Structure 1
Amino acid sequence: MQHRTQVAIIGAGPAGLLLSQLLHKAGIDCFVVERKSQAYVESRIRAGVLEQGTVELLDRAGVSERLHREGLPHHGVQMALDGELFRIDLHGLTGGKSVTVYGQTEVTHDLILAHQSRGANLVFEADEVALHDLTTDRPHVTFTREGVAHRLDCDYVAGCDGYHGPSRASIPADVLRVFERVYPFGWLGILADVPPCDDELIYSNHHRGFALASMRSPTRSRYYVQVPLTERLEDWPDERLWDELALRLGPEAASRMTRGPAIEKSIAPLRSFVAEPMRHGRLFLAGDAAHIVPPTGAKGLNLAAADVGLLAEALISRFLDRSEAALDGYSARALARVWMAERFSWWFTSLTHRFPEMDDFARRMQVAELSYIRASRAAQAVVAENYVGLPTALTTRLAGRGEATPLPAPPRAVA
């Protein structure tokens, strides 16, 4: 079966669906192909902190009504050092910016509903997805569904299919450069239908390890503790996990913590990952297909949305204005923001977690850094500016320096 579209989008996560919705608003035809089932895509438990820029993109896409009704605006974030809390005033330190707590599962649900309500070309459970002729002016995508072979001809392909998808794998090894840092620990998370212990997120550095108190709604909480990658879920019954959270978050937060049975419990490894370039011929990467950040800085979904905003702008310019300048500059502009978000997430992770090789000196450096942030409004402003999302003007200036700082051969490297 043969199809024709202007932009073939691989992946029906929030990045692919948001790109499709933005392009639809501009009158550009899209076809979204997803390998997993709709139920699987909608059930994935992921991030829940949206930057203001992400909310504005969802506004532009026309899918933010429920977000504004049910999302939780946050004007600050709490930090803790061995149980002692202090607050970063995001709103006051960034000229009025804030973040909104609204789960990625909810964003995905809203986007899928918008696609289905307008009868968009959105295919789930596609098998054998493959990308072809990406360096020609006639790229196409092939897949099978329920045993029927399909061919999708297009002008451009957007690879929004995550770390394990076929899009990045379609770029030749001598073109792609990969940078990666794998962390020696993971996050053990628990989701429970209990009210959160605070109105804002709490990032805790404790001598026993990192902890995070978060939420999905006023009645649903999400908590995490740092654990070695060798830990097993069966060794962490609910009671043990709640006890550990109470210790690491400290007595003030623990006194407000409500315990309850886990709805979901999992251990997620942490890594930093970037693939360059984010363009190969008529293929453009966005989101986890091109980069992954540790969740400490709440950047994953927001970075994907930033990619999508740039790519939508570039494709709209190409189809409506007949200009390819924005497409030519997409990779450099996107990577400038990616590396700044990677830097913040790496720094914030290093500041808040216990590393296996950490000695007393390294621990004292963490304590000194957090004490400085607590005492200095200027230091808090740096944290706040990065947490709410760096200004586009700043990352645009950085993009003028090229794809990234040049590094020596070989062309494929792991850092």
Structure 2
Amino acid sequence: MRTQVAIIGSGPSGLLLGQLLSEAGIDNVILDRVSKEYILGRVRAGVLEEGTVELLDKAKAGARMHAEGLPHDGFSLAFDGRDHRIDLAKLTGGKRVMVYGQTEVTRDLMDCREAGGALTIYDASKVQLHGFETASPSVSYEKDGTTHRLDCDFIAGCDGFHGASRKAVPPDAIKIFEKIYPFGWLGVLADVAPVSHELVYANHPRGFALCSMRSETRSRYYLQCPLDEKIEDWSDDRFWDELRRRLPVHHAQALLTAPSFEKSIAPLRSFVAEPMRFGTLFLVGDAAHIVPPTGAKGLNLAASDVHYLFNGLREHFSDHSDAGLDTYSEKALARAWKAVRFSWWMTTMMHRFPGTGDFDQKIQEAELDYLTHSQAASTALAENYVGLPY
């Protein structure tokens, strides 16, 4: 089998790239090692930058997002027992974010791809990349006990941190930058109305907490926890009690609870791989970079990678120009590092680190106080949160 672009991974970045390519008349095939049902069962973040929303519209996959998503003009930083609202729209000239679950983004893109007849091969095991240092790359995989080969012009590695794409690159050709944080996020999903109509990021002596939502009737809550915590040690009652302790009194009193239907602990890391291009192989999204979720940048960074790569591929096939592909890694990494910095800064500012002394704690408190009382500082936060321009 042959295609113009082989896309490895059918998460949001692979599906978005595939849909944009299909709309532009560029043939593509998506491979994924797991099933469609498994992918749709994964729970991920759901705060979309304006640029991500525009890309979904360009891919003609934004109708349900606009009908069911929740546009947010601001969010709250909670500390010293009070809310301090960051007015995104006022500080950025009307820009906002869209709260819409990543699972729903994935479902919408899958539906569009299936409606257009583009090919996605699920349960493709033993995926291997070949010849991407040449002009004739290919991908091999096994399906139903048979080995297949997919010849292509380019390979887009959209298969995440643990995928085959980055692992195929020779170690001496890639440089890794990484920071592991000494805590994780314990998260639950529950079918209850959110405690607030906007997100609440809470800094508390007991640790960070985040009140988020997936809809007006489904809430997503997080607690900072030690890395050695066990899920089985956290009953729903224990989680709700601890969340109340970390929120301002008015939020704690308004908190609605219900049995959780998903509960997990996620470690936090900052990770960047350079470069993001290796001949005819291009790394996209989590295959190239990971950020802690504090800044709501993971999915949005993947979308910006897709923006740069799609434009480069369109120019190659339509205009016979490789200028966009030649600058893909440089442009994608420049934006990625700004998001890595922002996510690191938000994480450092909002969490309690093991071994933090009195001096460090006072610095954190001063940072929060300055941030919420300086228009210049609040504006810098707001413009990063809604998303820097591509």
Query: Would the aligned equivalents of 1:82 and 1:204 in 2 still touch at CA under 8 Å?
Result: no
Structure 1 range deviating more: 109-118 or 322-331: 109-118
SS of the aligned residue for 1:217 comes to coil
Which residue number in structure 1 is paired with residue 204 of structure 2? 206
Q: Is the 8 A contact 1:19 1:312 kept in 2?
A: yes
Match of 1:98 among 96, 105, 113: 96
Give the letter aligned to residue 40 of structure 1: Y
Matches of 1:65 and 1:364 in 2, distance apart? 47
2:243 and 2:87 mapped to 1: Cα distance?
24
Given the alignment, which residue of 271, 274, 277 partners 2:272? 274
Structure-2 residue corresponding to 1:12: 10
Equivalent residues of 2:51, 2:389 under 8 A apart? no
Separation of aligned partners in 2, 1:387 and 1:301: 13
Residue 108 of structure 1: aligned partner? 106
Cα distance in 2 for partners of 1:29, 1:249 equals 50
SS at match of 2:171: coil
Deviation string 1:122-153 (CA, Å, 9 cap, x unpaired) is 00000110000011110000001011111000
Aligned residue in 2 for 1:366: 364
Query: Partners in 1 of 2:82 and 2:372 — Cα distance?
Result: 11
Q: Within 2, Cα distance between the matches of 1:360 and 1:310? A: 45
* Residue of structure 2 equivalent to 1:44: 42
How much does 1:116 deviate? 1.2
Match of 1:356 in 2: 354
1:230 is paired with a residue whose SS is: coil
Query: What is the CA–CA distance in structure 2 between the aligned matches of 1:276 and 1:375, rounded to whole Å?
Result: 37
In the alignment, residue 48 of structure 1 is paired with which amino acid?
G
The alignment yields a C-alpha RMSD, in angstroms, of 0.6
1:354 corresponds to which letter in structure 2?
Answer: R
Deviation at residue 5 of structure 1 after TM alignment: 0.3
Q: In the comparison of the two structures, how many residue pairs are matched?
A: 390
Asked whether the equivalents of residues 82 and 248 of structure 1 are also in contact (C-alpha less than 8 Å), the reply is no
Query: Which of the numbers 375, 378, 381 marks the counterpart of 2:379?
Result: 381
1:224: which partner in 2?
A: 222
SS at match of 2:37: helix
Q: Separation in 2 of the partners of 1:198 and 1:271?
A: 28
Structure 1 CA distance for aligned equivalents of residues 250 and 273 of structure 2: 42
1:76 paired residue number: 74
Amino acid at match of 2:114: Q
Ranges in structure 2 where 5+ consecutive residues have no aligned partner: none
Maintained 8 Å contact 1:82/1:249: no
Out of 259, 262, 267, the position equivalent to 2:260 is 262
* 1:341 pairs with one of 339, 342, 358: 339
Deviations 1:277-317 (A, max 9, x none): 00001000000000000000000000000000110000000
Residues 1:23 and 2:25 are matched in the alignment: no
Shift of 1:82: 3.6
Q: 1:165-204 maps to which residues of 2 (within 5 A)?
A: 165-204=163-202
Q: Deviations over 1:38-86 (max 9, x none)?
A: 1111111001100000000000000000000000000001111143111
Give the letter for the 2:328 counterpart. Y
Deviation at 1:90, TM superposition (A): 0.3
What is the alpha-carbon distance in structure 2 between the residues aligned to residue 314 and residue 9 of structure 1?
15
> 2:54: which partner in 1?
56
Distance across 2 between alignment mates of 1:217 and 1:391 = 27
Contact 2:178/2:270, CA 8 A, preserved across alignment: yes
- Secondary structure, counterpart of 1:357 in structure 2: coil
8 Å CA contact 1:63–1:114 kept in 2: the answer is yes
Moved over 3 A (4+): none
Paired residue secondary structure (2:254): coil
Paired residues for 1:225-264 under 5 Å: 225-264=223-262
Alignment deviations for residues 189-228 of structure 1 (CA, whole Å, 9 cap, x no partner): 0100000010000000001100000000000000000000
Is contact 1:195–1:258 with CA below 8 Å preserved after alignment?
Answer: yes
CA contact (8 A) 1:83 1:204 kept: no
The offset of 1:391, in angstroms, is 2.1
Specify the alignment match of 1:307 in structure 2. 305
Q: TM-score, normalised by structure 2?
A: 0.99
Separation of aligned partners in 2, 1:241 and 1:38: 31
SS of alignment partner, residue 195 of structure 1: coil
* Aligned positions of 1:387-402 closer than 5 A: 387-392=385-390
Q: CA deviation at 1:241?
A: 0.6
